[in-house]
A and B are shown apart, each in its own frame.
Chain A
Amino acid sequence: MTKNLFLSAFVLFLTFSGFAQKVEFTEYDLDNGLHVILHEDNTAPVVTVGVMYHVGAKDEAKGRTGFAHFFEHLLFEGTENIERGEWFNIVAANGGSNNANTTQDRTYYYETFPSNALELGLWMESERMLHPVINQVGVDTQNEVVKEEKRSRIDNAPYGKVAYSTGINPYMFDKHPYKNSVIGTMEDLDAAQLDEFKAFFDKYYNPNNATLVVAGDIDIDETKKMIKSYFGPIPSGEEVERVNIKEDPIQEKIVATEYDSNIQIPLKVLVYRTPSMKDRDAYVLDMISTLLTDGKSSRMYKRMVDDEQIALQVLAFARSMEDYGTYVIGALPLGDTSLEKLTQVMDEEIEKLQSELISEREYQKLQNKFENRFVNSNSSIQGIAGSLATYNMLYDNTDLINEEIEIYESITREEIQEVAKKYLKENKRLELDYLPESNE
């Protein structure tokens, strides 16, 4: 490193750059079961404090879709020592930023601060875990806010039902709660009562169901002491029983139509049910997405958008989750192209994957792309914190932050072909026509 960069105050840590790729971390449990992960990187005076709770939309009670996400909003309302409405002001007044998000599987809260506010961040998250104030005022206000969030993100947004899976998952899952959406329905949101929120907190928001991550410009020993002071006294709760629902395999092609009043160009999507994100096959499918649609030379883009000009855009992505995933392949028609034509071409591309090995050159291309992705994935402290918590909680293997690339490196061309054969079957998929809804 050259010394005219901004790092000269941290000369001691320059050796760190020798291991540029590796994210060093230590992890341990407190007596109350809270899992702690610490990552020290003193190159910039920034610290992220994050807590991930192992509870998401899939843990919701029947008739209470959207509850976990609604609850996430409530946990910004204040604590016994933080007055209502003050949470965001405290963060801002200390130069920080914060947010939270909820998925089917987990809920994650974090603050990023200049590193001199580390203790403040620990205090705030421990306050939230120990004694948040959950009251009717908060429930009433956040009920409206969450509904507006739903309108903004889904109901008023072009292709919102595909982007947020609300137009897909009900077809893909029959028994598993993944069939419901994270944002929930207006009726269910209205039905949620104060008592239920309190019970939800008692059941899921315990240290033994959470992972605390602290990353950035910290001193490991001092940070450990502070964590013990702030989080140590929080009592643990009962062990959480995980959702354990097995879906029957899809036996017959599902054909469906959804309408969106915010679009003018339809979308054809083919959706497959895939295994847990932890499964090796999920990684293979991820590579297949890249092969099909990432970059202008990717198979579907080149053929459908560029050469044959039948599609305005193509897409393929895996939505990975803890118990199952969905795998979406789709295209927007260009001009008069019919949705049937798009399906036919997508099917040809899928068949090609199943019948032929990808070329050596394409294989090397995939490896280069994943190496590039890996290097970029750990480029910010906030991002590293989120990844550490996710790998620990959902994959049960924090080391993946450094080792996941090895999984991709070990996937062979033959495996890609096998996985394409195993999952991308016509009789096991949803064929969705996503059409404009007329309203004029």
Chain B
Amino acid sequence: MKRNIVTLIVFCLVATGMMAQIDRSEMPKPGPAPKINIGEPKTFSLKNGLKVLVVENDKLPRVTASLIIDNKPYTEKKPGTSSMVSALLGTGTENISKDKFNEEIDFLGARVSFGSESASASSLSKFFPRVMELMADGALNPVFKQEEFDSEQKKLIESLKSNQKDVGTIASRLSSALAYGENHPYGQYTSVESVEEINLQDVENAYRNYFVPENAFLVIVGDIKKRQAKKLVKEYFGDWKKATPPGTTLPQVKPAQYTQIDFVDMPNAVQSQIIAQNTVDLEMKDPDYFPVLVMNQILGGSFGSYLNMNLREDKGYTYGARSSIGASRYASRFRASAGVRNAVTDSAVVEILKEVERIRNENVDSDKLEDTKKKFAGNFVMRLEQPSTIASYALNIETNNLPEDFYETYLEKINAVSVVDVKRVAQKYLKIDEMQIVVAGKGSEVAENLEKVEFNGKNVPVLYFNKETEKIDKPVFSKEIPEGVTVETVYDNYIKAIGGKSAVDDVNKVMMKGSASIQGTVITITRKLTKDGKQIEEVAMQGTTMQKDVFNGQKGYVEARGQKMDYTEDQIQAKKKTAGLFAELKVPEGVELTSIEKMNDEDAYVIQVSENIREFYSVENGLKLATETTVEQMGQTATTTMKYSDYQEKNGVKFPMTLSQDMGPQTLDIKIEELKVNEGVSNSDFE
């Protein structure tokens, strides 16, 4: 590292003199650009490989020390092991018990914490030598005890459980898993199950393997001299045994095959969390790094960015929309995210994609580009207020293989980014055709509209996942049933909706005749229904009966192509509940209101009539919308749905004049052409 001081002029900030008289209508111009100096930390190394960076700054009487072990990331056999390492560090060492350790740190008013490959300490400078000793002891001489292991394992499991309903946690978990793959260290996640598998030995092994000085840096910042720091570090870290962590290879990160919505249902959500992402191959040392920083800043890096101005300030969809692009030696990704209310989830997805398209295809306004560069200059200046910045810059240069003058030339490189560069890197790094749009939200309110999302004239497919990041079939999203709604009220409302009880009571039998067309052939359907639960359905083609389904209230049969099959006992029981006119006049036993689901884009109360039959009643107007029958045939289940629509009045009662039968991918629409009430049906019909 270079030792000389470099003075930088922040040339983005234009210098002009201050005005003597103020004119409110003119925005004041900034004064002469402040000169800034990026200092450099003092450094030294220990024989065991530990590199130490010291930033001396006595403005406040405090010191902070951070130990960072810059190992390559690795895939954990049992995810959560590293969390257990960090939880167990600090629970006792070869020299001091946990209770004494904790008490002394608190007594000194200090903070000490441990990660699986890190540690940090901060305190008033007068207590720092002892605090540093405690941190080193906790990090280097831990004793892992079964008792502490059990306790921390229990806590970790409990806290994992506690996050199960947090929309942000689940969205971030799914997005990581999808971006990197579940075998990648950045994609795997810690589950209750994986934590349950961990044992004390796993923790010991992970610690012994990875908590080693080979790639370790110790950064000390504050009211301390290098000389003092060196003495402390030698004393407390000198005996740390030289060792190298195990070598690892990272699984390949694969892009998505096509742009998709990846949905996970969060029934408690009042906002959907949207993360549109693709992985990128970008390191800090790449020439594209600076154009990418600027491009992201314009797209979603600030309040005035494309994303936020559209989704928040123009549409009012969100409290904030932002984007980010990581740069890493290993793997990183682009992400655009927002929390939006349920009703606008689909629109928000479209607007996010539009803004990504915009920065890919439109030239950025050159004034906007210049303003963005000034923001970088300002941030750069302001970050230097914290002395730790110097250390983190030096650390970045070291760990990311950056040129020595990376930060000295930082603003120069930002300033060199052109309109063309912005568009070029947007096209290169924002992969509009390989984007995963992760949405965690309330399925019953948002999924249907998400399925309709179109972008560039194409429908964006929706894939469904569970909270454990596994791909699943599209679930049925049901809404909560409002308090006070029961089978009785649903049936009552239905009777009211079709004309009221007294009108319905006057109907004893009904005959209806209709026709439908199957592949150009016209078929006629005749239905006869009686109040006491008898029912006939007859299908004919060109005057010839093709199929007949008869139920007389006690037993029944189906006749087709000359073959006659009697109802089974199950069919009889089921038919007793649904056959005939207005079964809803009474509530049979075992009938249950199960959920609210969509039927023809309409919310419907779902009533489970029997194991295989569900009926749907409109939440809005009470009318019966459909009957769904599940049949099992040779081990396969098939569902057919009869939908009712076009209700029209006859004798004071409304009847559906269109019946649509779903049969696999086909729909058979039956239009009722003739409807007779209390005539056209005789008892002999049912024999």
Task: Report which A residues bind B (CB closer than 8 A).
Answer: 1-9, 17, 20-21, 43-46, 81-82, 85, 88-90, 92-97, 112-120, 122-123, 127, 130, 140-145, 147-149, 151-153, 155-158, 217, 229-230, 261-265, 294-298, 302, 305-306, 309, 312, 332, 334-335, 361, 364-365, 368-373, 375-376, 378-381, 436-437, 439-440
Contacts and interface: CB of A to CB of B under 8 A. Distances in A.
B40 to A, nearest CB: 6
Given A44-B384, A114-B10, A155-B271, A375 B62 contact: yes
A96 B32 CA distance: 15
A365 B106 contact: yes
B480 A439 contact: yes
Contact of B312 (A116, A145, A376): A145
B35 interface: yes
Contacts of B60: 20-21, 375-376, 378-379
Interface string B366-378: 0000111011111
B380 to A, nearest CB: 8
Given A44-B382, A368-B127, A375-B61, 13 more contacts: A4-B5, A8-B37, A89-B304, A94-B374, A114-B30, A119-B18, A122-B28, A127-B24, A141-B314, A148-B316, A155-B271, A264-B165, A297-B99
Given A156-B269, A437-B268, A148 B384 contact: no
Given A117-B30, A365-B107, A93 B375 contact: yes
A369 B371 contact: no
Contacts of A369: 106, 109
26 contacts: A5-B57, A6-B384, A20-B58, A44-B382, A46-B381, A85-B313, A93-B370, A93-B375, A96-B378, A114-B13, A114-B33, A140-B316, A144-B316, A149-B319, A152-B339, A155-B271, A156-B269, A294-B106, A295-B102, A306-B151, A334-B155, A370-B109, A372-B123, A379-B60, A380-B386, A436-B165
A276 to B, nearest CB: 27
B55 interface: yes
A81 B25 contact: yes
B30 A116 contact: yes
A93 B374 contact: yes
B56 A5 contact: yes
Contacts, number: 268
Interface in B61-115: 61-62, 98-99, 102-103, 105-110
User: Looking at chain B, what size class is its interface with the partner chain?
Assistant: 35 or more
Contacts of A6: 36-39, 384, 390
B267 A440 contact: yes
Contacts of B108: 368
A109 to B, nearest CB: 14
A192 to B, nearest CB: 15
B375 A372 contact: no
B458 interface: no
Interface stretch (B156-164, B277-285, B488-496, B596-604): B156-164
For the complex of A and B, the 3 pairs showing the least CB-CB separation, nearest first, are: A95-B378, A144-B316, A45-B34
A170 B159 CA distance: 29
Nearest to A93: B371
Interface in B136-182: 151, 154-155, 158-159, 161-167
A144 to B, nearest CB: 3
Contacts of A8: 5, 37
A97 B28 contact: no
Given A4-B5, A20-B59, A120 B167 contact: no
Contact of A156 (B270, B382, B384, B390): B270
Contacts of A85: 309, 313
Nearest to B162: A265
A7 B267 contact: no
Given A20-B61, A141-B313, A368-B109, A45 B267 contact: no
